[in-house]
Amino acid sequence: MKHLRSTPKDHAFFSVYAKLAKSVKASGYFAQVVSAFTEVGGIFAASLSILTPIFGQYAVYPSAAIAVIGTAILEISLRVTAPQAVDAVLYRRWQGLHRAVTIFVFVLAAVLLTTSGVLSYKNSKIVVDAVTITPQLDSLAVQAQQIEYNAEKAKLEEAYRADSTTIAGQYEKRIQATTAAYAGKIASAKRELSNIYNKEQRTGNSYATAKDQARQKIADLKADQAAALAELTSEQAAALAALKAEYKAGIAKADSVKGEALAAIESEYKTAQTDRAGTVNSYGGGLAYFTIIALFIFLASVILDRIHLKGSGIDETVELSQHDINPPAYIEAWQAIRERLQTTVRAKIAAFDENTPAAPLPTSKRELYDPTELANVRVSLKLDDESEGEERTIRIAAKRRPIGFFTQGPDVRQRKQNEGLESEGKSDEHNATVNAMVGNCDNCGKEYTKKVNWQRFCCTDCKTEFHARQHGGKPYSPIYKKGK
């Protein structure tokens, strides 16, 4: 889409105000940049305070993005809606749908102007505060004072330890000397007392008064010794107390010097903060008023430019191209990707369906059992060997037919019949050795050895044949009941 302007129809009007309109239009762009600058600072500060608890040190990047995008939306919208609002007044667009568009444009332009003005005015101090150097507490001076204080304190402690050690050594020597002097005197007095005792032994006389005097002298010497040692100890304690008081006075003086130095540094820091606050208030207020003036310059430039265009008879037209009518490129790209994806997926589904084999036909049901097989159940009887004269007992071991869904064929039936014959032959041989009974078969008349005394047939075939002949060809079955 191209925005075209025609040549001026009123050249005289155009020539008179062309230079003015151009200059004012340029100043309008400059004013909008100033307003955008203050808006960016305010939006960035607000976004940073909100996002810092969430993103921490990385909150600067999203805050900057939000500030730039928000300011761009505000200023670009203002640049578009303000000329439309002025044109609505100049061209009297009050009829039909023009009225609705005009009302919407006026409301939107008023909201954008108010938002821009409020953000610019309130955020001016924030911008000035951000660019003004923040005074810092002189940490080097504080560290220097702390180092000096620690050195002075260490010096006083060292002097106190040395002096106290010296005083303690001096008084220790005096105490030792005094103790030694009195020890000699006491030893001499004790020697005198011993001599008196020796004299009594030699002479046999009693010198009680002399002994009492000698004992009193020893007691007096001990008392003088104790008094002298106590006086020395008291002098030592007084000397140490005076030394400690001197040490504490030195520490207090060092603390006072340190406090005064730190107070001076703190006072200087607070003075710098006060000066900075004054600078921010002064320049921030000035910038706030300047942004309002810049907003008025922007409005004046827009109004003057639109009046100049109308007075010069310059018409604005819009030239459309095929790209303006067609859907956006990203929509066409999405549609192409969607078509390709649909075609590919559906082709794969169709190929998969063609390669899927047909479902098999249902199989016929099998019989659970063959009733005719029930006639082939065999029972083998064995007689236990017993001594003569005892009663013989016949024991029949139950033999169950397996239960299942498999239907036996003719081969299996024949094999089982053969097995039955073999077992009968073996049983006959065994029973012949144990006094077996001999009888004639009711079907064929053949002589055979009975397994039990009520046996009528020599084999199963004869029994089956006899039963079929008696019952009209119906094969024998153990479950057969007469009359049914």
| pLDDT tens figures, 413-433 | 555 555 555 555 554 544 444
Residues 223 and 169 in one domain: yes
For residue 364, being part of any structural domain is answered with no
Domain hosting 98: range is 2-136+287-318
Task: Calculate mean pLDDT across residues 442-468.
Answer: 87
Q: Which pLDDT score is estimated for 415?
A: 58
Closest CA to 393 of 401, 404, 385: 385
Residues 111 and 165 in one domain: no
Q: Which pLDDT score is estimated for 173?
A: 92
For residue 45, being part of any structural domain is answered with yes
Overall domain count for the chain: 4
Q: Which pLDDT score is estimated for 430?
A: 46
Residues 155 and 197 in one domain: yes
Q: Which pLDDT score is estimated for 366?
A: 58
8 A C-beta contact, residue 250 and residue 243:
no
Residues 189 and 291 in one domain: no
Mean pLDDT computed over every residue of the chain: 82
Higher-pLDDT residue of 46, 97: 97
pTM of this prediction exceeds 0.75: no
Residues 154 and 224 in one domain: yes
For residue 483, being part of any structural domain is answered with no
For residue 440, being part of any structural domain is answered with yes
Q: Which pLDDT score is estimated for 338?
A: 92
pLDDT above 80 for 393: no
Q: Of 234-248, 300-314, 387-401, which gets the smallest average pLDDT? A: 387-401
Of the pLDDT bands very low, low, confident and very high (cuts 50, 70, 90), residue 340 is very high
For residue 362, being part of any structural domain is answered with no
Q: Which pLDDT score is estimated for 434?
A: 43
Of the pLDDT bands very low, low, confident and very high (cuts 50, 70, 90), residue 437 is confident
| Domain containing residue 206: CATH number | 1.10.287
Residues 258 and 298 in one domain: no
Residues 299 and 349 in one domain: no
Domain boundary among 243, 272, 301: 272
Residues 101 and 31 in one domain: yes
- The residue type found at 466 is F
| pLDDT tens figures, 254-299 | 899 888 888 888 888 888 888 888 888 888 888 888 888 988 999 9
| pLDDT tens figures, 183-205 | 999 999 899 889 988 888 888 88
8 A C-beta contact, residue 207 and residue 199:
yes
Residues 334 and 314 in one domain: no
Of the pLDDT bands very low, low, confident and very high (cuts 50, 70, 90), residue 477 is low
pLDDT above 80 for 301: yes
For residue 363, being part of any structural domain is answered with no
For residue 280, being part of any structural domain is answered with no
| pLDDT tens figures, 17-44 | 889 888 988 998 898 888 888 888 888 8
Residues 174 and 267 in one domain: yes
Residues 12 and 126 in one domain: yes
Residues 125 and 174 in one domain: no
For residue 457, being part of any structural domain is answered with yes
